[in-house]
A and B are shown apart, each in its own frame.
Chain A
Amino acid sequence: MKAIRNIQYGAMVFFGLLLGTSCSGLLDEPLENQQIAEGTDYTQTQNMVLMLYGAYNQLYDFGWEIYPSISVRGDDIDIGGRGDQPLFALADSFRYDRNFWAMNSAWTGLYGDLIYWQGAIEEIQKYQEAGANGTTAQQYIAEIKVLQGFEMLQLARMWGRILIPQSSEPSALLDVELSSFEEVMQYVSARMDEAIPLLPDMRPNQRSDVRGGVTRYTALAVKAIANLELKNYPAVAEATGQIISSGLFSLEPDFYHLFKLRGKLNNENLLELQYSDYGTATGTSNKYLWDFFGPTSWTPTRDGASGGWGFWEPSMKYIQFMLDRGERERLETTVIFTPDGITDVRNAYPNAPSWISNATPDGDVFNNSVRTKFYSGKHYLPSAMLTEGRTAYGENKNFTCIRYAEVLLMHAEALTSGATSSVMTADAAVNAVRNRVGLGPLSGVTLDQVLDEKFAEFAGEWGIRFYDVVRHDQTAELSYGGRTYDATTSRFYPYPLEQQDVLPQLREGN
């Protein structure tokens, strides 16, 4: 009897075990702190602006390797940084390695932005559908389209034929055909046309909601660059003419200080990457990785300020070009000399002026470096301008992307390439830029003079020089210092190997 009773108890235990099954509701606990996009409450329309902020933050979070990938190939700048990242030095000499990590990183960095921005556009549309102010929503979308246009331009300039993303889903690109360089530029131009009427009619620094954000004129500038690449000079003249005739923009009188703190949200800027140390000696800081441009050895006026990696070496060709022109202000702003660099300059150019010094106008002294002979002055912030307590090179400096001088000289380039404009003559545009740095006016400027002016003005900035000489078929300029530019293989980078692995159309299009 007892045994039977115990069996009954045993059965009860077993029953109890089975009971546990009903506890499986526990397994529905969600993961911690994951904001599922599907769960967004779009009626909270005050959150819509967060997508716009996010878009700008995404732009400002610009990887350090992207900029040299875009800009290294011209005769204005060499990579420097000898002994480090040798494949960048090869790229500087038009010997491209499709397996170079920085190329893949530049590709994914820019495309990543395009995809994130597409996602922001889609999200903003959902807020609008849920009742957010339509005008505001459409303006935000237009702003983001301009950011997309600017980076799509860079992608096409580097790789020629690229994929134009139409969706926030990266895998959708598997079904997208390659677009030709021209198709990309036309696409960008058309997108800017869509955006322009929806954007605020003011300078970026006049915006009160997102100061330094995109305006109608940013869109026009991007449109101008796209059409320049298309050699559609009338469209360039038209777009630049609109910017000029707005009368909103002006050149910063002091070229040197344009690239220092005074350049932040300057009246000359149409697009810039914004950074800040928030005025505190330590703690939170959002900064571009200026270390890339910094000196490996210097004696800063602010004791204890940090240097950097010793990349981005203005070319001897550029220095000689500037010395030939008798320029000082732009040379001194663009190039920082080291003692060894000065020796080289004097050897190559016996008549070099005596003002050349390895001390900057702000008193920082640049010492010799194994890695480079010259440093980039445009990417240098004097140590004395650092917020008290801060030591990182360039901290609190903004990174300018498009400035009014480029608009003026694109205007001049278009006019000297056959376009017409009633807004401003080529002479006036060029002379405005020259006047700022104390150079006398020219009259009857030719295309070559405009290109020279751009060379002098934009050295080290965004590859402007490289794309100029390629566009105007003056690529012989690029074969200097042991480099040989080959028009068939040097203009575009090969698609990164890792991208060829995932996108069959790249393998075929290579």
Chain B
Amino acid sequence: MRNLFTCLLALFMLPFMAAGQQGRVSGKVTDAVASGGIPGVTVMVKGATTATQTDASGNYSIEAAAGDTLIFRSLGFAMQEIPVAGQTILNVVLEDEGTELEEVVVIGYGTQRQRDLTTAVATVKAADIAKTPTATAMQSLQGRVAGVQIVSNGAPGASPTVRLRGIGSFEGNAAPLYVVDGMFFDNIDFLNPNDIETISVLKDASASAIYGVRAGNGVVLIETKSGAYNKPGEIVYDAYYGIQNPQNVLKMANAQQFVQYINGTGSAADIALIQNAIQRYGRSRIDPSLPDVNTDWYNEIMSPAPIQNHNLSFSGGGESTRYSIGGSYFNQEGLLDLQRNNYRRLNFRVKVDSKVKDWLNVGGNFNVSTARQYNGENTAWFLAYFGVPILPVYDDGNASATPVKYANAQQIGYRSTQNPFFPLEYVDNRNHVAKLLGNFHAEVNVWENKLKFRTQYNYGLSFVNTRRVDFAYHDGVTNHQSAIRRRNTSNYDQVWDNFLTYNDDFGKHNLNVVLGQSYRSEYSELLFARGTAINPAPSRAAEQFWYLQNATDFDLNDIGDASDPDYNSINANLQFLSFFGRAAYNYDGRYLLYTTFRRDGNNKFQKTWGNFATVGAGWVLSEEDFFDVEGIDFLKFRASWGQLGNDAISPSVGLPTIEENNGAIDGTRVIGWRLNPTFDLITQWETTVEKNFGLDAQFLNNRLSLEADYFIRDTRNLAVTIVPPVFPSAERRSVGEIRNQGLELNLNWRDDLSEDFSYNIGGNIATLKNQVLGLGGASGLNAGTAEFRQRSIIGQPYQAFYGYEVTGVFDSQQEIQDTYNADFAAERSLVPGDLIFKDQNGDGIIDDQDRVVLGSYMPDFTWGANLGFRYKKLEFAALLQGQTGYNILNRKRGEMIFTNDTNIDADLATNLWTEGGGSSKNYPSASGLRRAWNQVMSSYFVEEGSYFRLQNVRLSYSFLGREINGVTWPEARVTLTAERPLTVFKYNGFNPEVANGVDREVYPIPAIYTLGVTIKL
């Protein structure tokens, strides 16, 4: 560290000076059509950081030199550049543009005009982000950006899974890099969505190549809100309150359906259990063949829960300083009853910029986020599915159960307790999360607003303290000891960037060059311990005693600070050093060229240094003299090629290691060593090369806009596990290769029919083909579990479901004989009601050779559509989205292979194959469910996941500074939002969004209805 500082101290010591007579320019910006003042127009000095915004009447005032050029920019208007030329009053009329082409887009280490881009960048603005009631901003991107797949997570405070253009890595969820005001993060769960100004998704390699070795999974740039110079202070209170309502609740078999199914199995032992239930809990008076119990477990454990957010911000600025200060409180309750299950987050932020000297601008940015999260015990969801409906919640006869007399299915003969109230009542999971982001930057105008030097130092601190408390209880059969496990992690990450930006115009030649250097480090610490037999025994009434110090014993196999066996994380001290550069050139706005280069060094892999480059070009055809096509206002073709790296994979030790193990020798715990001859050898980061071809166009007076992109993204040197001969643990090697390719289209129509009425309608679609191209010599690589095999096979999607193809259900012995070799059928004792597996190789028998790819959990096709209108002060917006062409493994139905005395879902129970005509050809018979033949991985378990969803509907009404009874009321807006009110799908589960495609115990995703209010002072 010290070494670094001495090295870079020189940069700080360099003195700077700049020239230029300063004066003040003021004026009014008006609308060419409506001829009123336009509020909120950005006015900036070209090539400088000086900027301000017009006030409510369109007036502005800005510091500028006589030779400067002022830029006036506002959404929906054509940008204008006007030289000051010694004037002090400059009134400007802006022409309606109706296009976002002139908008400035945030790219890495700088900005670029939308129309000059040669890369694929999608920007989502504050207004759209705020539409979604959620803890994490990325959720609001669902359906809005083509090529970004968002898989929702319903648990309070949980982040969705985000995939940019498919899966380009076998590790770490392939999550993109988030750059928040220059700092690198793995996720942005700590940010208040309301504090975000823009989210820029750098979709192609050319756009993200400047982030080099971190950019392989895509980059998402987050700019937090800033104040504006010369803008009166503004206070904004923004809040919503709503209800989360479980939807698409899976129907489980009720007592009658369950008993009918059990009778169908013909299993005397199981039928006896029903009699046990009748004996213990009484006989139903309505149907004497049933017990007097009919428990709907989902109904018992789940109920609607509130969600709310309050946000207060102060922003504005004077001549030389601008600020944005705010705080927010977010609270989301979980759907689970009884157990503490919620997420609360308190955020504070300050962002200040100041022109200390006319050549120096310094600023700082702090964001403090503290959150407390009580995680629901996921086992409860699992048990609610499997709990038999003939078991009540409580059982007064369960005398030995303490402290609460919950019913225990073991007492009527079932293998497990089955009652989800045990984990709900007797487990408490708490996370305390604190994340701090500190940023300091200084920008020096080195030479006449053309050459600028910027240094920015970012520090990210995050602390996650988890505590799991298991209460002591007796379930009536088994006694359970209390335990506390605590796990604390601290992450100290820093990034220090220093770069020069050079901007110049030579006639029609426009040039922008960036040259810089960056240092980054990631340091993390971990400490965990588990104590047992807590004394006093933990109870919810006395949380003040929930400490490890009160443990009677410790579990020495569960104490550590180097690596955590449960979480696969290790302490880390990682160092990164980078150099980067960018050049963007355009000739007359017609011919665009773009290139970046980054050289990255690290101590994580055997290979230390790597280079990442990109080149891109664009041709704005509509700017050519010869181009004169009626109805086409703008047409640009662009193409790019870029290289990326992904270092977000576990490091590798690269050599055999000595590992510790332990065991009992004569009742004494003994630590021993063993030589592990296998090792991970990840020689380098994963490398991606992507080609992107795009088209941007505006038609019909800019009312219709089109963006299209086609990409081929090849990733090599993927860290994949290879199976060494005979050894139980796999080794990781940099030998995998995967391809993602697809087409993205974005079409939007927007029209203002009158001053009072405008509307917009649009949509986006994205296709994705994911294909494994190489595995270092192996033809396939197993994933999933042995019973529910997934396999990455060359030429097939990553981790595709792999098993037997079901073509129907056998109706007769004759059909069985006609289908398979007679000896085989006899040996397997096949009977009608068993599934028919396709004999792929036609050898008359079914064996591992007959397995085929049954589908992938990656959607082929995702789409979103938006619709909105504004009538006077009433605004309506709706967003629809959907995904098709993917599969979900219904692992819940698959659980039958391990335990078959549990409940099944109603659809299965009522559609089982039965003797005689007209029965199901999809499901086996009741007894067939329990035969090994039908339990192997087959298309019976792999279901279509496609869904259509009404994602977001929002109605808002604005009260603009109205005067009532002589009092001017503040500007206010009331909003009604329905998030995910409707989802339509065929899949037999709670929801069709399952991040890894395996649905075993997924937290339900609720519909959310909120009422919101915004007040501006």
Contact = CB atoms under 8 A, between A and B. Distances in A.
B903 to A, nearest CB: 15
A33 B657 contact: no
B665 A210 contact: yes
Interface in A10-67: 10, 12-14, 16-17, 19-38, 40, 47, 50-58, 60-61
Contact of B672 (A57, A171, A303): A57
Contacts of A280: 552-553
Given A9-B15, A9-B446, A32-B562, A297 B665 contact: no
Contact of A20 (B577, B665, B729): B577
Given A305-B478, A389-B481, A33 B563 contact: yes
A174 B932 contact: no
A87 interface: yes
A502 B727 CA distance: 11
B651 to A, nearest CB: 6
B722 to A, nearest CB: 9
B663 A27 contact: no
A170 B11 contact: no
Interface stretch (B187-195, B701-709, B894-902): B894-902
B448 A3 contact: yes
B10 interface: yes
A29 B603 contact: yes
B974 to A, nearest CB: 52
A274 B665 contact: yes
Interface in B534-576: 551-557, 562-563, 570-576
Contacts of A296: 415
A116 B719 CA distance: 25
A83 B451 CA distance: 75
A119 interface: yes
B553 A501 contact: no
Interface stretch (B333-341, B511-519, B614-622): B511-519
Find the residue from B273, B415, B521, B674 having the highest chain A CB count within 10 A: B674
A84 B573 contact: no
B7 interface: yes
A368 B269 contact: yes
Given A54-B673, A275-B664, A108 B601 contact: no
A368 B270 CA distance: 11
A26 B3 contact: yes
B743 to A, nearest CB: 36
A320 interface: no
A418 interface: no
Interface in A95-130: 95, 97-101, 104-105, 107-109, 111-112, 115-116, 119-120, 122-123
Contacts of B663: 53, 56-57, 60-61, 274, 286
Interface in B646-681: 651, 653, 655-678
B500 A112 contact: no
Nearest to A119: B675
B786 interface: yes
A499 B726 contact: yes
B8 A19 contact: yes
Interface in A123-182: 123, 163, 165, 168-171, 173-174
A89 B933 CA distance: 12
A13 B445 CA distance: 13
A35 B676 CA distance: 10
Interface stretch (B16-24, B906-914, B949-957): B16-24
A279 interface: yes
Given A122-B675, A286-B664, A370-B267, A14 B603 contact: no
Contacts of B723: 498, 501-502
Contact-size category for A: 35 or more
B661 A61 contact: yes
A369 to B, nearest CB: 8
A12 B447 contact: no
A391 interface: yes
Contact of A101 (B551, B664, B786): B786
A319 B553 CA distance: 43
Residue from B7, B446, B827, B901 whose CB has the most chain A CB atoms within 10 Å: B7
A444 interface: no
A28 B519 CA distance: 14
Nearest to B499: A17
A440 to B, nearest CB: 38
A278 interface: yes
B848 interface: yes
Contacts of B500: 10, 13-14, 17
Given A6-B447, A31-B653, A211-B666, A391 B570 contact: no
**Residue among B447, B571, B671, B727 with most chain A CB within 10 A:** B727
A160 B267 CA distance: 39
Interface string B968-994: 000000000000000000000000000
B269 A26 contact: no
A32 B10 CA distance: 31
B380 to A, nearest CB: 21
Nearest to A7: B447
A509 interface: no
Contact of B653 (A19, A36, A389): A36
A99 B556 CA distance: 37
| Residue among B563, B670, B675 with most chain A CB within 10 A | B675
B672 A6 contact: no
B7 A22 contact: yes
Contacts of B3: 23, 25-26
B727 A310 contact: no
Given A36-B653, A56-B672, A284-B669, A23 B726 contact: no
A371 interface: yes
A16 B579 CA distance: 12
A381 B504 CA distance: 85
Contacts of A37: 655-658, 675
B533 interface: yes
A86 interface: yes
Contacts of B785: 101
A430 B492 CA distance: 70
Contacts of A34: 653, 657
A487 interface: no
Contacts of B675: 37, 51, 116, 119-120, 122-123, 168
Given A13-B14, A35-B657, A163-B726, A211 B554 contact: no
A27 B608 contact: yes
A479 interface: no
Contacts of B552: 280-283
B498 interface: yes
Nearest to B534: A282
Contacts of A14: 500, 515
B980 to A, nearest CB: 38
Contacts of A20: 7-8, 517, 519, 577, 579
A53 B670 contact: yes
Interface string A299-311: 0000111110010
B726 A36 contact: no
Given A14-B515, A24-B601, A368-B413, A284 B479 contact: no
Interface of A: 2-3, 5-7, 9-10, 12-14, 16-17, 19-38, 40, 47, 50-58, 60-61, 83-87, 89-90, 95, 97-101, 104-105, 107-109, 111-112, 115-116, 119-120, 122-123, 163, 165, 168-171, 173-174, 210-213, 265, 274-276, 278-286, 296-297, 303-307, 310, 340, 367-371, 389, 391, 497-499, 501-503
Given A26-B575, A274-B663, 4 more contacts: A6-B18, A27-B608, A53-B665, A112-B727
Interface of B: 3-4, 7-8, 10-11, 14-19, 267, 269-270, 272-273, 400, 410, 413, 415, 446-448, 451, 453, 474, 477-481, 483, 498, 500, 515-517, 519, 521, 531-533, 551-557, 562-563, 570-577, 579, 601-604, 608, 651, 653, 655-678, 723-729, 778-780, 782, 785-787, 827, 847-848, 897-901, 930-932, 935
5 contacts: A14-B515, A26-B575, A120-B674, A303-B474, A391-B480
